[in-house]
Each structure stands twice: as C-alpha cells, then as structure tokens.
Chain A
Amino acid sequence: MPRYITSRVLQAVLVLVGATLVIFVITFALPGDPVQALAGERAADPAFAEAIRARYHLDEPLLQQYGRFLLGVVQGDLGQTYSGQDVAQMLGERIWVSGQLAAFALAFQILIGVGAGILSALRRNGLADTGVRIFTLAGLSIPFFVTAYVLQLVVGVKLGWLPVAGTEDGFLSYIMPGFVLGSLSTAYVARLTRGQLTEALREDYVRMATSKGLTRVRVVAHHALRNSLIPVVTFLGLEVGALLSGAVITESIFNLPGMGQAMARAVYLGERTTVVGVVTVFVLVYVVVNLLVDLLYAVLDPRIRYA
C-alpha cells in the first residue's frame, strides 16, 4: 500500500507539472501586449514598459518564467495580475463561492442521479424506469445553459421561488445554479447506476444473500449497491473536470463571484496570470480528487488490495 501511494502521488505531481506547463505555454502566446493594455490608447513610455516587463519578468525566457511560477506555486504564490492584485488572495476569496456551488452540484448528482438509478434498476421496465429513462435522455440532450435560462425565467422570475442571480440570499442562491451545474452529469450517473445495479442484482452473491433470508432492502443496500457504486465514484471523480468547466458558464449566467467567473473574465481580458492561476487550482483539484478516488477503491471493494 505505501508503495502504491508513493507512485500514485509522484504520478499526480507529474500530471500537475505537465498540465500547468501546457497552459503556461499556451497563455504565453495570448494575443495583445499586456504592457500596451496598461498604457491605454497612447503608445507606452519605453521606460515604463521596461519597468513593467522587468517587474513581471516578461523579459525572461519562457522556461525561466515557468520555473519562477512553479517555485511560487510551491510557496502558495500565484503571482500578481497586471493591475497589481494578488492572484492567490483573489482566488482565495472566490474559492468559497465555487466550493459551495460544486458541493450543491455534487449533492444533486448523487441524490437525483443515484436515486433515480436505483429506482430504475429495481423497477426495471416498469413505469418508474420508463420515466427515468425519458428524463435522463432529456437531461443528456438539453444543453445545461438552456436549462439555466429556462429555470431563471420560470422558477426565478415567473414563480419567484428562488433568487434569479447573485449570492445575497445565502444558500438559497446556490440551489438553482447547483442544480443546473449538476444536471450536466446527473443523467450519466443515473444511467451508470442503473446499468451497474442491474448487473449486480444478477450476481451469485446477491442470490446467496437473498436465499439466506436477508430482507430486500439489506440485500440491495449492503450487497448489490456497494459493488455497483465503484464505477459511479470513478465517474464522479473524472467528471470533476467537466464540473469545473461548467462552473465557468454557470457562474457567469447566475452572476456568482466564483473562480469560474474570474476565469471567464480573465480569458476575455487576456489576463495571463489569472488564467494560469485558475487552471492551476482546477488541475490541482482534479488531480487530488482522482487520487482520493483511487485510494477509495480499497474501501469500497474489499477484493482490491494494493500491494
């Protein structure tokens, strides 16, 4: 086990370094001269331009800049934006909003997705199953930003049940965006759970559990479900990437001051440091979550033991 963890952590570090390098190289070529952008419409004063370039190390070769950036990341420093704001601090203020949004989205995915999947698998080809299948197909085909606009119109404006945008209403503000963001993968989770549980219910150990007189609830919850949830957990881990991407759009539509919104704005403005900073945080979250998922296997499936 310790050996497995060590190699897995090393692999995660490699992915983190590689992914940030890719993004770093890409953003390095972002259009527009940041110095000129600061100076406005007139041509920048050469002395000023030089001072800025030296301050942000723009005059150094790319790899040296990247090394400096990595050194900063290790110390928790993501650099400064061109307007002098500290990126790590700015993201620190926003990460709470994005975290809450992600938590709501994940909760919806698990509650609705796994719930619908179980219902569907237990009542196969019944009314509930057909309903869930139609619902999941609709969920897969309707783009989530369209869901967002329709919900804003119906639930927010017409019915007035939930706030339309912003974060003034505390956790109520997160229900609708969380549902929208979660709807990205809820349908996949439901399908996956249904398929896995259906297969597990046919296994010998389930027949065994039933024949020794366990109740239906116990058979499903303790024997069948536990094994069928392993692929679901893996899927949710891999979906973290989609969740983070989706947050960029969801936060923009619902005007939530999170990291995704910062990212959308930074891409638009060509604000390199923020783009690299946000992607670094996102990749870090993705890598850590998937590391945890891999280690969780052993807990969920007693047959798996890491040597």
Chain B
Amino acid sequence: MPELVSATGVMEPPAIPQRKRRGHWQAVRRRLSRSPLFYLSATLLVVMVGMAAVPALFATADPHDCDLGRTLADAGAGQWLGRDLQGCDVFSRSVYGARASLGIGIAVSLVTGLLGGAVGAAAGYFGGWVDATLSRITEIFLAIPLLLGASVLLTLFGTSGSGTWTVIIALSVHGWPQVARITRSSVLEAKQQDYMLAAAAIGCSRLRALARHVVPNSLGPWLVVVTTNLGVFITYESIISMLGIGLRPPTISWGQMIHDAQARFLEAPLPLLGPAVFLSVTVLAFILLGDVVRDALDPRSHS
C-alpha cells in the first residue's frame, strides 16, 4: 500500500492581498460623511441637545424671573423675543423648553421603536398564528387615531399627575403600531432572501439566524422610521400640551408656551412664534436626519 504523500509546498494557498474590507455599515457611514445635509442636521441637533442639557449656557435670562409690569413687552435690548403675558423672557423660556420636548420625543421614539420593532419582527419572522394574532392587535391599535387615543388616556390620568411619564406612556401606547407594520414587512422581505436558505443549510439555528441575518438586514427601514418619528412625537407632545392635557407648569415646554400665548396672539405674536420656531427647527433637524439616513442606507433612492 503506497504511503500518502503530503504535498507540502506544492499546494500553498494563494496569498490573498490584504485589502480594506468594506461592509454595508462602513459604506453607509461613508455616504453619511459625504452628505452636507447630515452635517447641517447634526449641527442643529447638537445645539438643541446642548440646550436641553445645559440651558443656562444659552439662555439670556432666568426663565422664572418674570416682571409682571412688563407684560407682553416687545422684543428689545436683552430680550430677543420679547416677554410673555407673565412678563417672562420668551427666548430663555424657549431654551429651557428644549429639555421636556426633546426628552419626550427621544423617550417615545425609543419605547415605540423597541416595542413596535419587537412585535413587528416576531410577527414577520415566526409567521403563522403568531403573525395572525400580532397583526390583528396591531391593526386594532392602528385604527384608533393616535392623538385621540393619547388624549383619552391623558384625561384618564387626569389631574392626579399629568407629568412627563404619563405623556410618554400615552404617546407610546398609540405610537408603536406604525413601527410594527414597517418592521414586519422588512423582516418578511429579509426572511425570503437566499442567505437565509444558506444559513439554514449550514445548520444555523433559527434564533441565531434571526439575530445574525434578519435583524441586521431589516434594520434600515426601522432606523428611518424611528428617526423621523422623533420629530413627529415632539410635535404630538406640543399638540397635547397645547390642548392643556399634557405637561403642566412648572415644567416648561414649547407646546405649553404656545397654549399660553394663543389667546393673546393677535396683540402679541412673539410669545407664540418664539417657541414655534424652536419647535419647527428641531422637527426639521430630525426630518433631515431621517432623510439623510434613508439615502445613506439605500443608495438607489438618492440618485
């Protein structure tokens, strides 16, 4: 019996030149860093987050230091946006309002993103009766108009404490179905790709396939909707506070400032327009960010 000769030196594997491997996310990051709109929205957001974190740095006066004698004073030296009915500095109050509005927007986006993402992913991935049950529940909650559902819930909490947490809960309860729908459809799409078949063929467990293949590949649409929703929820918070059932003093929020200023809007527009501009710029920054993220994730959509 001839001996097996090992062919060392003959079958040397060809050397693969060390090249920079570019994954999907690196490409996304590269496209992001090339977009001027990304820097614009990032700058706006950094300023807004700065205001929320250390308002005293930006404000020109103490928001609680009010002078009733100068009620509804027009813009002038020291007060860029004039004073409101209580004689408080509108600019400084708007700066201090960033914390509540941004905080609620981010919190609700995260909660609805996680809850909706989990429900949608489970429905899309497991299919069958899980999908049928979860999808019906999603549809039921989707049919209740968000703002109506939230205001009913908030009235329920009533005077006992309509604080930051109750607003977050009320918006989250009715905000998740939209995220669930979008996540479900993108998971369904990812599940049908060939790489899932390949993963199953090499004996990859279902949970591992979910974590390693489905989630990373269906993250894009989820990320876009969660980013865009940030702006939407900030607007909803202001609407709820504007209706008088959201945040209450001493918490300062833009919606509440608009609520307080609306009765005198015809005589003194600045106390309403001031917080409105802050609100619009923040929402704009999040919308731009959502756009930029979408374009970076899907290069086809931008051409």
Contacts and interface: CB of A to CB of B under 8 A. Distances in A.
A145 B145 contact: no
Given A245-B145, A248-B148, A279-B144, A268 B155 contact: yes
Interface residues of A, number: 47
Interface in A106-165: 137, 140-143, 145-146, 149-150, 152-153, 157
A143 B276 contact: yes
B141 A22 contact: yes
B219 interface: no
Contact of B287 (A137, A150, A278): A137
Nearest to A249: B239
Contact of A267 (B155, B266, B284): B155
A45 B188 CA distance: 61
Interface stretch (A8-16, A50-58, A89-97, A294-302): A8-16
Contact of A141 (B148, B245, B265, B281): B281
Interface centre among A16, A30, A157, A287 (most CB of B within 10 A): A30
A264 B239 CA distance: 12
A245 B144 CA distance: 9
Interface residues of A, dominant DSSP? helix
Interface in A24-61: 26-27, 29-32
A27 B152 CA distance: 7
Contacts of B87: none
Interface string B90-131: 000000000000000000000000000000000000000000
Contact of B265 (A14, A32, A153): A153
A244 B146 CA distance: 10
B99 to A, nearest CB: 19
A174 interface: no
A141 B283 contact: yes
A145 to B, nearest CB: 6
Interface in B126-159: 136-137, 139-149, 151-153, 155-159
Contacts, number: 130
Given A15-B143, A146-B272, A31 B159 contact: yes
Contacts of A82: none
A15 B139 contact: yes
A287 B301 CA distance: 31
Interface residues of B, number: 46
A14 B136 contact: yes
Given A137-B284, A149-B262, A287-B143, A26 B153 contact: yes
B245 A149 contact: no
Given A14-B136, A143-B239, A157-B266, A244 B145 contact: yes
A254 to B, nearest CB: 13
B269 interface: yes
Contacts of A27: 152, 156
Interface in B231-271: 231, 235, 238-239, 242-245, 258, 262, 265-266, 269
A14 B143 CA distance: 11
Contacts of B283: 140-141, 143
B279 interface: yes
Interface in A150-187: 150, 152-153, 157
A216 B288 CA distance: 33
A31 B145 contact: no
A257 interface: no
B160 interface: yes
Given A143-B239, A146-B272, A30 B156 contact: yes
Given A142-B276, A146-B280, A153-B265, A244 B155 contact: no
Contact of B152 (A11, A142, A275): A275
A283 B152 contact: no
30 contacts: A15-B136, A16-B143, A18-B143, A19-B141, A26-B152, A26-B153, A27-B156, A30-B155, A31-B155, A31-B157, A140-B283, A142-B280, A143-B283, A146-B272, A146-B273, A146-B279, A149-B272, A152-B265, A153-B266, A153-B269, A241-B145, A245-B145, A245-B148, A248-B148, A249-B239, A263-B148, A264-B243, A267-B245, A275-B152, A278-B148
